[in-house]
Amino acid sequence: MEQILINLIAGALGGAGAGKSSPTFDLGTVGNIIAGLVGGGVLGQIVTLALPAVTAAAQSGNLSIGSIISHIIAGGAGGAILTAIIGAIKNKAAA
């Protein structure tokens, strides 16, 4: 459960950062956060499935600093990537 929350929070922050870093990707504050939440949650779960050791550590209650950092990175990256993709598509459609 903690890993999902970490992914979602990191994704929201990554989405907000990506949206504000470039007007091309900006979806507005709420749009950036929502896209970041979705992207962070999805990529975070993919990383969890791809790295069984992280999942095993989280399930055993031994959520280490290394696994927390991997979830933060995956969630933030997922949020930033999805926000950038949606922002680029939105701006191409509006032009």
**pLDDT, tens digit, 9 for 90 and up, residues 48-59:** 777 776 666 666
Q: Residue 72's pLDDT is what?
A: 85
Return the residue matching tokens 């870093």. 21
- pLDDT at residue 86 is higher than 80: yes
- The pLDDT of residue 59 is 64
Supply angle C-alpha 43, 36, 47, rounded to 5.
10
Write b or e for each residue in 72-95: b if 16 or more Cβ atoms lie within 10 A of its Cβ, otherwise e. bebbbbbbbbbbbebbeebeeeee
Nearest CA-CA partner of 36 in 58, 21, 51: 21
Mean pLDDT in residue range 27-38: 92
User: Does residue 47 carry a pLDDT above 90?
Assistant: no
The pLDDT of residue 44: 80
Q: Give the helix ranges, DSSP H, for 22-64.
A: 29-50, 52-59
Q: Is 22 helix (H, G, I), strand (E, B) or coil?
A: coil
pLDDT band for position 13 (50/70/90)?
very high
pTM: 0.78
pLDDT at 30: 93
Task: Name which of 65, 66, 77, 69 is nearest 40 in CA terms.
Answer: 77
Reading the block at residue 39, the tokens are 């992207």
